[in-house]
């Protein structure tokens, strides 16, 4: 298995209990910092491909700004409809 690492920035660049959208080559990713624990997902809701850039991080969930769908900010699991599919985690 060939794993590649991408430098998305230092941990200090990501505010605690916030999310940020970053570019990695031609990919948009959302980086989540939950009290120093980090998770990275593609920057799109699995329901309609809306960016999380103007969404919220609330009660441990990444909230889609378009329809209010929620994903676990640690695992990417869908928590509240309309999304039914999880976010792929990196």
Is 51 domain-assigned?
yes
The DSSP 8-state label assigned to residue 12 in this structure reads G
Average pLDDT of each block of 10 consecutive residues along the chain (90 residues)?
70 93 94 96 96 96 97 97 94
CATH of the domain at 52: 2.102.10.10
Q: What's the pTM value of the predicted model, to 2 decimals? A: 0.88
Quote the Cα angle for 58-66-8, to 5°: 60
Indicate the helix (H) or strand (E) that contains 29: strand 27-34
For the record, the structure tokens of 62 come out as 């990444």
Residue 11 forms part of a structural domain: no
For residue 51, what are the domain limits? 17-80
Report the SS3 class of residue 11.
helix
Rounded CA gap, 73 and 35, in Å? 11
pLDDT in tens, 31-55: 999 999 999 999 999 999 999 999 9
Domain-located, residue 39:
yes
């Amino acid at each position: 298995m060939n794993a590649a690492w991408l430098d998305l920035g230092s941990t200090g660049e990501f505010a605690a209990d916030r999310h940020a959208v970053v570019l990695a080559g031609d990919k948009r990713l959302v980086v989540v910092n939950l009290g120093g624990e980090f998770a990275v997902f593609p920057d799109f809701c699995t329901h309609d491909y809306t960016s999380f850039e103007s969404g919220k991080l609330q009660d441990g969930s990444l909230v889609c700004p378009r329809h209010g769908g929620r994903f676990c900010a640690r695992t990417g699991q869908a928590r509240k409809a309309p999304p039914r599919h999880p976010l792929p985690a990196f």
